Structure 1
């Protein structure tokens, strides 16, 4: 029986700011100079986290640059307006507004209890425009910070998402002898970017990076079945690299149909992984190898700071075996860092590493937690990375990220902190079942995965430089660049992308 999973993409309904205020700049000044003044004001507001004011300034700067015919400056202001608008959108609620939302979400809790949840250190807030603003996912995070709430909800539903779907697999006997990979599952899928022609400029070049699957230890038989429109394909990474991308350049004056449809179709086989590791047989690292050097160094979202290393050392104590060290880091992460949606857009545009966010707040989602785990490992000299793509568990399909750490003699070992923490929401799990469920995700992984990149902190290929905004290298969605678009083109990807995967 075939099962079709329509991968749910995070709904980022990106708002274009329309400015009604009058222009207070000197009318005798040239428009381009006026734009520079407004842009500088926008940068000042942006650096102060006053994102609403910054968006206003950048949008006004766009208008001045447009009048002056300064296209390069216009694009720069356009993209900064986009960044400012959506960084602010991550935190849409002031105190009175979030209190109203909390009262509706938790009517049976007292006002004092709701206030306590809001005032807890793990509640994500932003001070902007002289006021404290609350994260758009505050309600969701309060639920996850209080497993009893989820357990009550799941008791009423007689179902725990993810846990109920996965526990039969996890508790089943492993029938693959001593092998690491088994239980293969075949998938076919497509990534579609279907943009109405009216949403595109008349001319110019639309540059698109389409994500596709890659080969890995668990993901094999990867085939790119088709890439349309093929005449615009400029390059492909193939399926054997660390990131899967097909790059297209589309001359917009050639597009006359009502829609521009870009479609990648592919197939792959995913295997369950179960590593059986003898710690005594873990070999010393080759500390001069390029891979070791890459995955024990700092990167954009894996920040190796003195605080990270001190934290890792406090967790592992006197342990020196990298397997046991990673195991201690794993259990500490899933025990002390509750799952929470994270303000990725805000983190991305402000340059705050995801690992640092988890270190400072104690919370994070699949991306943040995986990057934090990788940072802890790297600080001890254990190669580690965050792997990106999708999970395809029935009823809970969507974007997902997990971690891997490297043991010499065994290879890359999977770790899924977020999946493990999902067991805490179970309303009927026994302590033994819950421990077994969590232990599984240190060294084992279900076959319901779609891998696009082995490392989140990679540039797209070919490198887009500053052309793709936001700058994150995550490619679960198509990346788009366009110098003739009025609005930032990534809005097109958020609005008109769809990923569909069929389990054969």
Structure 2
């Protein structure tokens, strides 16, 4: 997901958590007036549940905090943990919406000089991402940046200088690209993954459960090595570099940590450019609809949802076309043309109850970034019986420093998994380019992919073993950064540590 959005999210989240702490009530006597009735702690928790159900998320957070204090004071650790998790869930639900109407208007004026009052009103009234809490409309933190993505002419004015698109387009516009693939031009990468949590950010007791991401073997990413893993004595499972997701699972006793907690891994892998543009439609074989992998990648999942509405729209997109390759290509261009890139509140979407799949969110609102665009692409394909998935990890196509990213693949019998990258393709609309170069760039990413990738998971919501606890409040959609669970921290440790992880990569000798 987008690094800029994540950074802003962390700052706002930290502020909101501090504010929430200030709203916690003073511990009270937890004895009930009627021994057969609920305790004050239970009543506070029930008010939190009711407040959340009524979309009063900030009030719900306060009531859950009150319940947490009372349960803790009464020594009821189990209910205190339930209330603490409810605090985190309520906070994550609204934390990415820091602006009221006046603040949203001010953000637009600051980001887009010369924007008219009418343009501001139209955007905020009909297109901006919002949430309602306590009957107040709140606006998403990237409300102004998303205006630019939705108005390419304005975006191009601000990217007229300082964007080296020749570098970004080095694969799509290469004059030496092989005519035949699918896996060519290997690049060997080596580097270090590092998680560093300051000692003062650690809870005082308990066990830290950490799912630390690692590169995974795929058709286009091979010879993966992971060496020099820190703290081997605390590794409970893994490292796993085959299967659907790469990770190693730690259980770290906090009391055994002296100073900062630092976990590192030396990684290396060979990434191949993928060239599938010479697919012969007549050679695409029939699907084995009983194959377990076919069944997996054509069904609904937590964030790739196949609904009747999605199926109807997909059929409208492809019309009378029946060839799965051409159908997938039509869906790819439809998303580029119909669903412009925008930053989205992933934390809220992941935490909000009832849960809304990210593909459905984009289908219904028109908003989505690389992950959401890829998930909607997969949902459209799956609805037509085409196996498809959203891959996650990092890209080095925009800059040498790895940036979190998602893209998509669809499966063709006789050819394998065919990649595309709607988001990178759409980036050509954000800069001034000759139309023929813009078209060539988009066409390349319709069925090819550069080698500047690090794959961590083959699909969104890929399962891990051990699985993330059902009751834990953790970011479940992706594993670009470590998942961190603690039953003893009185703050949202995973959220506060998202900025504590990084990956450095260099091109190694071949």
Normalised to the residue count of structure 2, the TM-score between the two structures is 0.92
1:338 is matched with: 340
What's the secondary structure of 1:18's corresponding residue?
A: helix
Work out whether residues 371 and 386 of structure 1, in 8 Å CA contact, stay in contact via their aligned partners in 2. Answer: yes
Residues 63 and 382 (structure 1 numbering): CA distance in 2 closer, same or farther, change over 3 Å? same
Tell me the C-alpha RMSD between the 2 structures. 2.1
1:199 is matched with: 201
2:423 is matched with: 418
Work out whether residues 156 and 431 of structure 2, in 8 Å CA contact, stay in contact via their aligned partners in 1. Answer: yes
Residues 130 and 177 (structure 1 numbering): CA distance in 2 closer, same or farther, change over 3 Å? closer
Superposed CA offset, 1:41-70 (max 9, x none): 112222222221111111111101111111
Q: Does 1:372 align with 2:376?
A: yes
Residues 357 and 440 (structure 1 numbering): CA distance in 2 closer, same or farther, change over 3 Å? same
2:263 is matched with: 262
Q: Does 1:444 align with 2:448?
A: yes
Find the partner of 1:71 among 77, 81, 93: 77
User: Residues 339-418 of structure 1 correspond to what in structure 2 (within 5 A)?
Assistant: 339-350=341-352, 351-393=355-397, 394=399, 397-418=402-423
Work out whether residues 477 and 493 of structure 1, in 8 Å CA contact, stay in contact via their aligned partners in 2. Answer: no
Residues 184 and 21 (structure 1 numbering): CA distance in 2 closer, same or farther, change over 3 Å? closer
Tell me, in whole angstroms, the C-alpha distance in 2 between the residues paired with 1:123 and 1:496. 30
Residues 202 and 110 (structure 1 numbering): CA distance in 2 closer, same or farther, change over 3 Å? closer
Work out whether residues 25 and 69 of structure 2, in 8 Å CA contact, stay in contact via their aligned partners in 1. Answer: no
Tell me, in whole angstroms, the C-alpha distance in 2 between the residues paired with 1:386 and 1:477. 17
2:248 is matched with: 246
Residue 458 of structure 1, CA deviation: 1.8
Superposed CA offset, 1:232-254 (max 9, x none): 11111521211001011112222
Work out whether residues 402 and 505 of structure 2, in 8 Å CA contact, stay in contact via their aligned partners in 1. Answer: no
Work out whether residues 19 and 56 of structure 1, in 8 Å CA contact, stay in contact via their aligned partners in 2. Answer: no
Mean alpha-carbon deviation: is it higher for 31-40 or for 294-303? 31-40
Work out whether residues 347 and 475 of structure 2, in 8 Å CA contact, stay in contact via their aligned partners in 1. Answer: no
User: Residues 218-237 of structure 1 correspond to what in structure 2 (within 5 A)?
Assistant: 218-237=220-239
Tell me, in whole angstroms, the C-alpha distance in 2 between the residues paired with 1:236 and 1:397. 24
Tell me, in whole angstroms, the C-alpha distance in 2 between the residues paired with 1:106 and 1:473. 32
1:499 is matched with: 503
Residue 272 of structure 1, CA deviation: 1.1
Find the partner of 1:146 among 148, 151, 156: 151
Residue 222 of structure 1, CA deviation: 0.5
Tell me, in whole angstroms, the C-alpha distance in 1 between the residues paired with 2:150 and 2:450. 25
1:184 is matched with: 186
Tell me, in whole angstroms, the C-alpha distance in 2 between the residues paired with 1:204 and 1:40. 28
Tell me, in whole angstroms, the C-alpha distance in 1 between the residues paired with 2:4 and 2:143. 20
Tell me, in whole angstroms, the C-alpha distance in 1 between the residues paired with 2:23 and 2:166. 52
Q: Does 1:19 align with 2:15?
A: no
1:456 is matched with: 460
Tell me, in whole angstroms, the C-alpha distance in 2 between the residues paired with 1:380 and 1:239. 31
Work out whether residues 5 and 343 of structure 2, in 8 Å CA contact, stay in contact via their aligned partners in 1. Answer: no
Work out whether residues 9 and 398 of structure 1, in 8 Å CA contact, stay in contact via their aligned partners in 2. Answer: no
Work out whether residues 237 and 243 of structure 1, in 8 Å CA contact, stay in contact via their aligned partners in 2. Answer: no
Residue 72 of structure 1, CA deviation: 1.7
Tell me, in whole angstroms, the C-alpha distance in 2 between the residues paired with 1:272 and 1:226. 28
1:10 is matched with: 6
Normalised to the residue count of structure 1, the TM-score between the two structures is 0.93
Q: Does 1:29 align with 2:35?
A: no
Mean alpha-carbon deviation: is it higher for 231-240 or for 194-203? 194-203
Tell me, in whole angstroms, the C-alpha distance in 2 between the residues paired with 1:212 and 1:266. 8
Residue 176 of structure 1, CA deviation: 3.9
Residues 133 and 395 (structure 1 numbering): CA distance in 2 closer, same or farther, change over 3 Å? farther
Work out whether residues 236 and 249 of structure 2, in 8 Å CA contact, stay in contact via their aligned partners in 1. Answer: yes
1:42 is matched with: 48
Structure 1 spans left out of the alignment, 5+ residues: 1-6
What's the secondary structure of 2:6's corresponding residue?
A: coil
Structure 2 spans left out of the alignment, 5+ residues: none
Tell me, in whole angstroms, the C-alpha distance in 2 between the residues paired with 1:58 and 1:384. 40
Tell me, in whole angstroms, the C-alpha distance in 2 between the residues paired with 1:400 and 1:263. 21
Superposed CA offset, 1:68-96 (max 9, x none): 11112212211221121122111111111
Mean alpha-carbon deviation: is it higher for 339-348 or for 73-82? 73-82
Mean alpha-carbon deviation: is it higher for 285-294 or for 61-70? 61-70
Work out whether residues 27 and 69 of structure 2, in 8 Å CA contact, stay in contact via their aligned partners in 1. Answer: no
Superposed CA offset, 1:336-387 (max 9, x none): 1010001111111121101111111122100111000000000000000100
